[in-house]
């Protein structure tokens, strides 16, 4: 199984990432509530940074070079995130030629959740997906290759890294909700092309 889950980021590093998101990302790429094709709202707020960002609206899911509300290019990767990517390469967790092209930033408050889905809007479905958990602990759901497969619950704590690679890159997964505390932020880093 090519799922790697480990605790990596100490409190200082986590705070640095949060501070950089507040000072460098949100002023350029503010949080928004995505909608499904039907018009139904997602149960959390999101934004992105990087060359391209994942969005969802009445046209459906896709990657876009522009923020859907400001119509401006996404904020750049904050330095602390680039440092983490470099470290993961150096330690052999991800390939040296991995290109971190986008980071999806999901913000969940108590009661917010994300249903089971596969990440498959990317042209490149072989590059690993890197997920970083910040803030409140929460319950991640890890399913199989089919929606009906058994789902395992994994607790993600602040500072945890989860990497889904190879045959596990396309597993169904979701987020059931935060355990205690009032806010969780999940960063999903992807190579789209
Ligand atoms: C996602 O699948 O996009 C996010 C999962 C999480 O919040 O842990
Ligand atoms: Fe996902």
SS (HEC) of 145-158: CCCCCCCEEEEECC
- Among all ligands shown, which has an atom nearest to the Cα of 114? 1
Domain containing 64 — which CATH number? 2.60.120.590
Distance 111 CA to ligand 1 centre (A): 15
Q: Tokens 């889950």, residue?
A: 5
> Which pLDDT score, from 0 to 100, does residue 133 have?
98
> Which pLDDT score, from 0 to 100, does residue 1 have?
60
Ligand 1 nearest-atom number relative to CA 133? 8
Instruction: Read off the tokens for 145.
Output: 């290759």
Ligand 1 nearest-atom number relative to CA 106? 7
Pocket test for ligand 1, best of 5, 46, 140 (most atoms within 8 A of CB): 140
Residue 123 vs residues 45, 126, 132: alpha-carbon distances, Å: 24, 9, 22
Instruction: Read off the tokens for 81.
Output: 């995130």
- State the first-to-last Cα distance of the chain, in angstroms, to the nearest integer: 24
| Structural domain span for residue 172 | 3-190
Q: Do residues 65 and 51 make contact, with C-beta atoms less than 8 angstroms apart?
A: yes
Name beta bridge partners: 46.
Answer: 32, 106
Q: Which residues line ligand 1 (CB under 6 A)?
A: 104, 106, 114, 131, 140, 173, 175, 186, 188
Q: Do residues 71 and 154 make contact, with C-beta atoms less than 8 angstroms apart?
A: no
How far is residue 176's CA from residue 38's CA, in Å, rounded to a whole number?
A: 22
- Among all ligands shown, which has an atom nearest to the Cα of 169? 2
- Average pLDDT over all residues of the chain: 97
Show the low-confidence residues of the chain (pLDDT under 50). Answer: none
Residue 122 vs residues 10, 53, 118: alpha-carbon distances, Å: 31, 11, 11
Three-state DSSP at 161 gives: strand
DSSP category for residue 65? S
Number of domains in the chain: 1
Instruction: Read off the tokens for 25.
Output: 């990302």
The verdict on whether residue 147 carries a ligand-binding annotation is yes
Distance 188 CA to ligand 2 centre (A): 8
């Amino acid at each position: 199984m090519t799922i790697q889950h480990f605790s990596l980021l100490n409190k200082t590093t986590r705070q640095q990432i949060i501070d950089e998101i507040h000072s460098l990302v949100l002023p350029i790429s503010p949080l928004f509530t995505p909608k499904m094709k039907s018009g139904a709202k997602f149960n959390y707020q999101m934004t992105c940074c990087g060359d391209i960002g994942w969005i969802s609206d009445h046209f459906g899911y896709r990657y876009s070079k522009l923020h859907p509300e400001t119509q401006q290019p996404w904020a750049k990767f904050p330095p602390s995130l680039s440092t983490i990517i470099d470290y993961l390469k150096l330690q052999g967790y991800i390939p040296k030629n991995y290109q971190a092209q986008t980071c999806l930033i999901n913000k969940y408050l108590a009661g917010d959740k994300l249903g089971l889905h596969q990440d498959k809007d990317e042209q490149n479905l072989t590059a690993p997906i890197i997920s970083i958990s910040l803030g409140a602990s929460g319950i991640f759901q890890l399913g199989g290759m089919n929606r009906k497969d058994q789902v395992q619950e994994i607790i993600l704590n602040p500072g945890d890294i989860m990497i889904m690679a190879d045959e596990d890159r396309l597993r169904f997964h979701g987020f059931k909700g935060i355990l205690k505390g009032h806010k969780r932020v999940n960063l999903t880093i992807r190579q789209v092309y």
